[in-house]
Amino acid sequence: MHKLARSRVARNIWAIMNKFNLPPTDKRLRSLDTMQIDFILEEMKYDQELAEQAAKGIKVDSEVEDDSDEFLKKYYSKDRKVNLLADGDDPNDIYEQVKAATKNKDYDRKLDYRIKKAIKEHKQKVKKADRQIEENWKELEKRLKQKGR
């Protein structure tokens, strides 16, 4: 646990928890994606820089650097791939740390079950969505025929 608590990701999450007075189980904290976490951390870092400058008596320039929304489109695009690991993180090392921390001999089996269950649920949602789309098309075609189109 010590090694995990000293990781870059854990320290970043800890900073956000402290800033917003959130426990690790808070749904708002747990629902943050990587981009949202990065955004919060960058703003916290910038606030710290401004505070340090002000403390030294340096004129604080808090002018917005880029007021176009191109930047938001680029970073918050639904098509953008998000890397869930920080630079230098090794997924196998993280897995081994979690496995060791659980001290549960059934960890692999339970993890496999949860993964298979999530895949099955996702496939069911996709099938349901596909069926609904097909039904919607049929209904649309029926209405168009009724209107003589």
At 116 the pLDDT is 93
Mean pLDDT in order along the chain per 10 residues (149 residues)? 82 91 91 88 90 84 61 64 77 84 81 91 91 88 83
Same domain, 73 and 137: no
d(Cα 112, Cα 93) in Å, to the nearest integer? 18
Same domain, 33 and 97: yes
Positive or negative torsion for Cα 82, 84, 89, 92: negative
Same domain, 81 and 17: yes
Same domain, 61 and 128: no
Q: Which residue type does 122 have? A: H
User: Domain of 132?
Assistant: 105-149
pTM above 0.95, yes or no: no
User: Among 103, 119, 135, where does a domain finish?
Assistant: 103
Q: Where are the alpha helices (DSSP H) in 21-106?
A: 27-30, 34-55, 70-75, 91-102
87 closest CA partner among 9, 146, 1: 9
State both tokens at 106: 């059934």
**In this structure, what DSSP letter does residue 69 have?**
S
Long-range contacts of 41-44 (CB under 8 A, 24+ apart): 41/12, 41/15, 41/16, 44/15, 44/16, 44/19
Same domain, 85 and 149: no
Same domain, 15 and 46: yes
Same domain, 62 and 99: yes
111 closest CA partner among 99, 121, 94: 99
At 120 the pLDDT is 93
Coil, helix or strand for 144?
A: helix
Q: Report the number of distinct structural domains present in the chain.
A: 2
Same domain, 149 and 137: yes
Same domain, 78 and 148: no
Same domain, 96 and 136: no
Same domain, 99 and 133: no
Same domain, 60 and 8: yes
